[in-house]
Amino acid sequence: MSPTQTETRQHTVTDSPYGPLTLVAADGTLCGLYMAGQRHRPPEESFGVPDETPFTEVIRQLDAYFAGDLKEFDLPMRLDGTAFQRSVWDQLRQIPYGETWSYGELAVRLGKAGASRAVGLANGKNPIGIIVPCHRVIGASGGLTGYGGGLDRKQRLLAFERGEDTPGTTLF
């Protein structure tokens, strides 16, 4: 699906240890989580009216995640993209907390062994970062590669999930 003229869009900004997060909803369903300075961040005017109402549970679960008390999100979401992108984003949600998979491994799991570059492009356009954990994808050599929120943020999120980083002051 893509945004329509008749849908109601709302947004709010919530603080996190990794910088402010802009949450966007379409007709009351989460459809975006964007970090400050994120690549592929839609224009602000597409976020709709400021309204915290549809985000109470999203913020509660994000707070629990950042406190180390939640390892898997359980939220209704609307992921707008192509069928291939949505299949990649569905696979991202299968990566266990604290673990990483390579782009190639994701491609194999999708039944498209030679599509690691396409998987990487779809990963980069993930509209609901952190909750749909695109930060858990690494290069074939095990190194950190591209992340729409920046490699420093990716490194810190992975370290946090491995218990090596306790979010304190916001660095972003």
Residues belonging to the active site: 134
Of the candidates 50, 53, 51, 48, the residue with the CA atom closest to the CA atom of residue 26: 48
Q: Which residues contact 29 (CB under 8 A, 6 or more apart)?
A: 54, 76, 77, 78
Are residues 161 and 95 in contact, defined by beta-carbon separation less than 8 angstroms? no
Secondary structure element (H or E) that encloses residue 14, with its range: strand 9-14
CA distance 134 to 4: 26
The dihedral through the CA atoms of 116, 118, 119, 124 has a sign that is positive
Are residues 25 and 54 in contact, defined by beta-carbon separation less than 8 angstroms? yes
CA distance 15 to 17: 7
CA distance 129 to 132: 5
Amino acid type, 87? S
